[in-house]
Amino acid sequence: MPLLHRIVRKDHAAIAFTLDGRACEGRAGDTLLTAILSHAGAVRLSEFSGQPRAGFCQMGACQDCWVTLAGGERLRACTTPLAAGMSVVTGSGIAS
């Protein structure tokens, strides 16, 4: 179940991306974190506790929203603009 539900910005251009192999869609101007949480209940599972994590500070300070792209690049989802064709791999099945 998605953590976020879009109530505004529905008229912005759609941007396709992939989350754990599943085709998803965000909107122009979204951060990667917003796009992910519009489709999933969490961003990743904690490597320490195994509990779901969804980002905390929303400004790049807490280190809680790190994600990995299919090519291996790690980045902060809260400060990274969504770009067409991004393929995010959480390895956790969160998007299922």
Q: Is 60 exposed, middle or buried (0-12, 13-18, 19+ CB in 10 A)?
A: middle
The answer as to CATH 3.30.360.10 being correct for domain 14-89 is no
Tens-digit pLDDT profile for residues 30-88: 999 999 999 988 888 887 888 888 877 878 888 888 899 999 999 999 999 999 999 99
CB 96 within 8 A of CB 22: yes
pLDDT of the residue at 31 = 94
Cα 70 to Cα 58: distance, rounded to the nearest angstrom: 23
